[in-house]
Structure 1
């Protein structure tokens, strides 16, 4: 399987090499960096309205806030890019931005 030569493609390539089944929906967690807790709570409600399961989290070391938004989906490069772009567009008015994704392999 071929993947683009960028961070998202590298992550997918690694998952593929680890034997993750790309034909089975996976739980993908998208991270959206936010300036603070209050804005994060507001943005979480917006993202829940868009169909994401969200919770707000603060990093213990950096004390930075993030909305963690999960969605069950097939691992598809174009869809991952589309979702990250959508998260960027939704979070930008709140001072946030899409900050990567990860997979909890079933």
Structure 2
């Protein structure tokens, strides 16, 4: 099984191979899902306190209908993404949520 770092490295290699320029800083979005609004809002407040832009949205999904996207400008390196993903995943777990991937607009 791949580690999170190895998984992120493979994703970034594929993006680069597809022609994306990974050099410039850009907004990277980290998605999280929650079962209830109170937990989603609590996570969003903590992420915002740590310098992330956040959005909370209810979606049509059974069991975990609350999406929270925490975004931050960064150079999309494997290290930057993995460290950030791990931090936010820990925060999400503290509020009964979970990480649900990351992404950014590609060039």
TM-score, with structure 1 as normaliser:
0.83
Q: How far apart, CA to CA, are the structure 2 residues paired with 1:70 and 1:8? A: 17
Instruction: Give RMSD over aligned pairs.
Output: 2.1
Quote the offset at 1:51 in angstroms. 0.6
TM-score, with structure 2 as normaliser:
0.82
Q: Is the 8 A contact 1:26 1:105 kept in 2?
A: no
Runs (4 or more) in structure 1 with deviation over 4 Å come to none
Count of aligned pairs = 103
Question: 2:99 — aligned with what?
Answer: 98
Instruction: List alignment gaps of at least 5 residues for structure 2.
Output: none
Change (3 A) 1:52 1:5: closer
Q: Is the 8 A contact 2:54 2:70 kept in 1?
A: yes
Instruction: List alignment gaps of at least 5 residues for structure 1.
Output: none
Question: 1:44 — aligned with what?
Answer: 44
